[in-house]
Amino acid sequence: MPRPLWTGAISFGLVTIPVKVVSATQDHSIHFRQVHLEDLGRVRTRKVCELDGEALSQDEIGKGYELSKEQTVPITDEELDRIPLPTAKAIEIVAFVDADSVDPIRISDSYYLAIDGKVAEKPYTLLRRALERSDKVAVAKFAWHNRERLGLLRVREGAIVLHSMRWPDEIRSPESLTPREVELDDDEIERAVQLTDSMALDSIAGFRDTYRDALEELLTAKSEGKELPEPAEGEEQEEGKVVDLIAALNASVEAAKESRGEGEEGEGEEGEATVHEMRPRKKTASTKTASSKKPTAGRKAAASGKATGQKAGAKKTTAAKKTAGAKRTARKRSAS
């Protein structure tokens, strides 16, 4: 189990559940250090006072609140600890709500709540079962790093999870970011819905961080002195081009179906567009050069063969005309 980040208790009415908070996530990102390019020596950040220019150690650094550019008020950890916080050592459940009523944008970091001693086993299980049976989540208040926070408790695979949440006034309004009203055809909306259906998955557990994989491959090649992997070729995007929305949606639906192996290549459902290039390909230099050269011997032979066939066809046509004319003349004579 990872090292506990916080110890306290869940306050559930008159029930107290001693718990330890551990991180529910882990960072697998690859981190770099700043180094001196000449000798690869590590470059460190020094904390320097801007008034006297001296580098300071951690025990010389404290907290201060800037009232104005001319006045700063110092504050100590002891003074912060004396502020009355009823949730200083407790995760106090204040309400139970439907999970769908919580806006996901308010959810921040996630933590597992582990029992702290055998005395916590029964009340912990009681709260977990109550959350599972009611299909609700618990809203709680708790204090962390000298600040009261809002939290959400829910059950995941038999464990109670604490989601740190943002207060309502911490969420910015998107009103200024939303686009102006535009007109959409029902056909466009229906094709967009079909695209969502064709891209639907039962689980997202199979996704991988392909950038991290490529970065690990690069670092391994450099450390072992091997040839660096070739960069992946990306399709160039034309900026500022107006796209036929229906054609783009149709092509996207068909591409999604083909990626799942649905349908045969080149065949689309009735009323659907098949996959096609959204813009013409540019001719490369080699293509232009090849098209400007004179015909090869094979092309000449094909051309001469085509001409011979045309001459033979012309002779057959002339002979057929003569035969038809002779028959007409014979019919006139017999009639007279």
What domains does the chain contain, in order, with CATH numbers?
Answer: 1-25+82-172 (2.40.290.10), 180-203+242-279 (no CATH)
By the 8 A CB rule, do 102 and 150 touch? Answer: no
Q: Report how far residue 132's alpha carbon sits from residue 52's, in angstroms, rounded to the nearest whole number.
A: 60
Where is average pLDDT lowest: 41-50, 191-200, 248-257? Answer: 248-257
Confidence of residue 82 (pLDDT cuts 50, 70, 90): confident
pTM of the model: 0.57
Token pair of 298, please?
């094979």
Helix H or strand E encompassing 198: helix 186-198
Query: Rounded CA gap, 120 and 275, in Å?
Result: 60
In Å, how far are 16, 21, 93, 154 from 90, measured between CA atoms? 9, 11, 9, 17
Alpha carbons 95 and 138: distance in angstroms, whole number: 6
Per-range mean pLDDT, top range of 115-119, 197-201, 274-278: 115-119
Q: Tens digits of per-residue pLDDT, 182-221?
A: 888 888 888 888 888 887 888 778 888 888 888 888 888 8
Bridge partners of residue 23, in order along the sequence: 111
How sure is the predictor about 269, in pLDDT bands with cuts at 50, 70 and 90?
Answer: very low
Structure tokens at 62: 């404290």
pLDDT surpasses 50 at 279: no
